[in-house]
Amino acid sequence: MYSYQENLIVSYGKAKVIRAAEFACLSVGCQIKSIDEKTLIARERINWLWVDPLKLVINFRETDDGCELSVFASSWWWGSKYHKINTVKEFTNALELKLSGVTDNSAKEQRSVRTISKFQDPSLLKSDQRILDLQNNFSDQEAINFQSQFQKKKKSVLGGVLIAILLGGYGGHKFYLGQIKIGLLYLAFFWTLIPLLIALYEAINMGKIIRNHNYKIALDISKKIKGTSI
């Protein structure tokens, strides 16, 4: 197993640091598997090669000056060395920004944190501002809940493009987006080759399609978290 580790000390209480670390993990595209007062374990939802997801282990130790963190990234593939380094650096940036109270709308944070993963969605190099605006209305815990649900439900541009190219003539990308009725329509007329031509056109515009789809997902999650119309 190949790994990369960084240690840092922050001048905040351990409880606050753990909450910020949970948010930072979600911000870099990792799902949290377990967490307690000493250790947080998270795993990358999907990485840029769709193989060997990265594992993050963060250990916490309270000190006289605040809290010491040991951030350990590992995976089996030796070629993902720079991916580990970049992920750990993005995690530490997200952690420090969260602790310092910098808002999600800042240019600094948009450069540092891939709230929507660049590796999962190559065309979404910046976070969708509409989704960031939704998160501004959340408390810390609500933001964590939102990120956790959004990471599970959001769709990938790369995944959408590949499915549209390989299975678009059969409506595969429509099923991927949960559009079952339209997918069945593609399937019924696949023999005409018209669905294939439409799917290839949609593959070209998949970035915009996925961006709008993910925003609808984010909006629905926000409404459920707040319990009121947004």
| pLDDT score of 179 | 92
Quick one: CATH architecture of 1-113? 2-Layer Sandwich (3.30)
Mean pLDDT of the chain: 80
pLDDT tens-digit map of 43-70:
886 654 445 678 899 999 998 889 999 9
| pLDDT score of 51 | 55
Question: How would residue 81 be classed by pLDDT, with cut points 50, 70 and 90?
Answer: confident
Q: What single string gives the DSSP state of each residue in the chain?
A: -EEEEEEEEESS-HHHHHHHHHHHHHHTTEEEEEE-SSEEEEEES--TTSSS--EEEEEEEEETTEEEEEEEEEES-GGGHHHHHHHHHHHHHHHHHHHHT--TT-HHHHHH--SS-TTT-TT--S--HHHHHHHTTS-HHHHHHHHHHHHHH---HHHHHHHHHHHGGGTHHHHHTT-HHHHHHHHHTGGGSHHHHHHHHHHHTHHHHHHHHHHHHHHHHHHHHHSS--
For the chain, give the percent of residues with pLDDT over 90.
30
Question: How would residue 163 be classed by pLDDT, with cut points 50, 70 and 90?
Answer: very high
Mean pLDDT of the 121-131 span: 50
Question: How would residue 121 be classed by pLDDT, with cut points 50, 70 and 90?
Answer: very low
Mean pLDDT of the 183-189 span: 94
| pLDDT score of 47 | 52
| Range of lowest pLDDT (84-88, 104-108, 169-173) | 104-108
pLDDT tens-digit map of 201-222:
999 888 788 888 988 998 898 8
| pLDDT score of 229 | 44
| pLDDT score of 122 | 34
Selected residue with higher pLDDT from 119 and 222: 222
The pTM (predicted TM-score) of the whole model is 0.53
Give the start-to-end residue ranges of the domains of the chain.
Answer: 1-113, 118-230
Mean pLDDT of the 64-92 span: 84
| pLDDT score of 208 | 83
Mean pLDDT of the 176-183 span: 93
